[in-house]
Structure 1
Amino acid sequence: MNLLLTAITPFTWGTTYVVTTEMLPDDRPILAGVMRALPAGLLLLAWFRVLPKGMWWIRAIVLGVVNIGGFFALLFLTAYLLPGGTAAVITSTAPLVVMGLSPLLLGAKVYRAQVVAGVIAVAGVAALVLSPEAALNTEGVVAAVAATLFTGTGLVLAKRWGRPEGVPQLAVTGWQLTFGGLALLPLLLFEGLPDHLTGTNIAGYTYLTVVGALIAYGLWFRGLAILDAVSVSLLSVINPLTATALGVIVKGESFSAIQAVGAVTVIVAASAAQIVGARARKREAANA
């Protein structure tokens, strides 16, 4: 059940592409990031009325910038510089970053089967989203790799630091969303604001705030607190799978046989990785 609840998050993130293209103003990615993170963070701060103390000020700022603000900014830059499919393939390697850092920062064992499943999942994402005319440029690749390092490192740090004793996990999530949103605010000076907002725009921003951040990140960090970091990170491959499916259903985009093979590959690889992780947790619990 915990795994299924956590899987709601990458599924929800996969809806962001359709919501952004169909409901939000054009060419306002930073505004979308701010509206996704900051209102949700402030709502959680208002609800729990708990602020960081001591070292947790630094930790909350670091987690907010790495997991939210910095990651969003790099992701949006990647979207401008690279085709969407190419960006999705590079960022889908984030679980491999988590696998590399987990033994060092968490003392966690990473199983060979999980690494193999992660690599196969990346290959599945490539078959799912890459087009023959996909192109690369140095700046875009650097931004995509940096975004991948940010999200992978942020996930491991969030697992390592956990939460202060007596502070609800949602309150810590609120700190991250708030600091992440604040980190994006200065970039709005360069992007600017739209002349007006329609009812559809407001509905889109509301969806990003409530579903894309408040619910999604709440479930994500809850799952991270309960499950191991590698298993959680491997769920992220659901994101491009959902985005592709919604592109076909909502926007009438084509879906080829190669994409179908990629989709099946992603599902099988992600499922196999979760089975390995679940068996490992059972063994550890039995030996405890």
Structure 2
Amino acid sequence: MGATQDRGLSGRALAGFVLLALIWGSTWLVIKDQISATPPSWTVTWRFAVGSIGMIALTIARRESLRLPPGGMVLAAFVGLAQFFGNFQMVYRAEHYVTSGLVAVIYALLMVPNAALSRLVLGTRMSGRFVAGSLVAMAGIALLMVQEWQSVDRAHVLTGVGFALGGLACASVANVAQATQAGRRMPVVPMLTWAMLFGTLADALFALVVDGAPVIETRPGYWAGVTYLALVGSVIAFPVYFALIRAMGAGRAAYNGVAVPVVAMALSTVFEGYHWSALSIGGSVLAMLGLVLALSGRR
């Protein structure tokens, strides 16, 4: 790993972490509302269609060119299919079956596949403390899954967790692609704009095949949620996150996920009626302690 990734967090990086935790901690609950009446395939499509318009506007506002260096379109298509198609199609389906807070906690483990793929693709080393912390965090996640297993239909829990893990794998592939030398050569915002456009196209084609003709929700709250997820959860958040990946590497950038579940589960408690038990409290604490331990050891 390069020297830039080995230094401690700068003030700018820390600010980025806090911003991402607040934004993405809230998006999980908004997604839950988005899938209540509209097929998830079309909801994802509308989100990134609006997001793509926002990304184009951001690129123009920054006076950047949408032209990418050689190989840029291939990378953008790869990232778009992994991040904005595979990842989000699975995330939205996961929330049909389990609470938004639990999906957020599962995604807090993004650092684990990120670090493993970085090791495989980029040769990045993993410390013993990182491995130990990751195992502790996964034990905490297991306790939370047991809590869900006892409270709702078990087949739903397995299905929801399966979708969440599938989305996690897609997100990790996109993250590591950003950390490669080819990814670092690409301008963040223009590349992300093309990636979102490619992802939106794939989402629309998938929605047509799976759910038929476009479904357009008339509820104002739905479109308010789409706008929030597109502009705040995507246009603002993803450039910050992808910049962190390039500066710090995919493994360390994913540490923002440590704080995201705290926000998400607090909101889930208030708005979804999530009931805390000794099991869920212990699982949450164990997961967070494990992730913090992993963070302290990954330098």
TM-score by length of 2: 0.79
* Structure 1 residue 9 corresponds to structure 2 residue 20: yes
Superposed CA deviations along residues 135-176 of structure 1, whole A, max 9, x for unmatched, are 2488766644432321112211111133436x3x22222222
**Secondary structure at 1:15 match in 2:** helix
Q: Please name the residue that 2:206 is paired with.
A: 187
Amino acid aligned to 2:224: A
* Distance of 1:69 and 1:23 partners within structure 2: 17
Q: Please name the residue that 2:83 is paired with.
A: 67
User: How far apart are 1:262 and its partner, in Å?
Assistant: 2.5
**Secondary structure at 2:154 match in 1:** coil
Q: Please name the residue that 2:4 is paired with.
A: none
Question: 1:163 touches 1:172 (CA, 8 Å); kept in 2?
Answer: no
Superposed CA deviations along residues 86-117 of structure 1, whole A, max 9, x for unmatched, are 76676554332222221221121111211221
Which residue, out of 176, 188, 207, partners 2:228?
Answer: 207
Give the direction of change, closer, same or farther, for the CA distance of 1:23–1:142 in structure 2 (3 Å limit).
closer
State, as a whole percentage, how many aligned pairs show the same letter.
22
* Structure 1 residue 40 corresponds to structure 2 residue 22: no
* Structure 1 residue 114 corresponds to structure 2 residue 136: no
Superposed CA deviations along residues 20-40 of structure 1, whole A, max 9, x for unmatched, are 334665143222212332322
* Structure 1 residue 55 corresponds to structure 2 residue 71: yes
Question: 1:10 touches 1:239 (CA, 8 Å); kept in 2?
Answer: yes
* Distance of 2:50 and 2:102 partners within structure 1: 31
TM-score by length of 1: 0.81
Q: Please name the residue that 1:286 is paired with.
A: none
User: How far apart are 1:10 and its partner, in Å?
Assistant: 4.6
* Distance of 1:89 and 1:223 partners within structure 2: 21
User: How far apart are 1:62 and its partner, in Å?
Assistant: 0.3
Give the direction of change, closer, same or farther, for the CA distance of 1:184–1:22 in structure 2 (3 Å limit).
closer
Question: 1:77 touches 1:143 (CA, 8 Å); kept in 2?
Answer: yes
* Distance of 2:34 and 2:165 partners within structure 1: 28
Question: 1:102 touches 1:110 (CA, 8 Å); kept in 2?
Answer: no
Unaligned segments of structure 1, at least 5 residues:
281-288
* Distance of 1:258 and 1:266 partners within structure 2: 12
Give the direction of change, closer, same or farther, for the CA distance of 1:6–1:34 in structure 2 (3 Å limit).
farther
Unaligned segments of structure 2, at least 5 residues:
1-10
Give the direction of change, closer, same or farther, for the CA distance of 1:163–1:197 in structure 2 (3 Å limit).
farther
* Distance of 1:240 and 1:125 partners within structure 2: 11
User: How far apart are 1:275 and its partner, in Å?
Assistant: 2.4
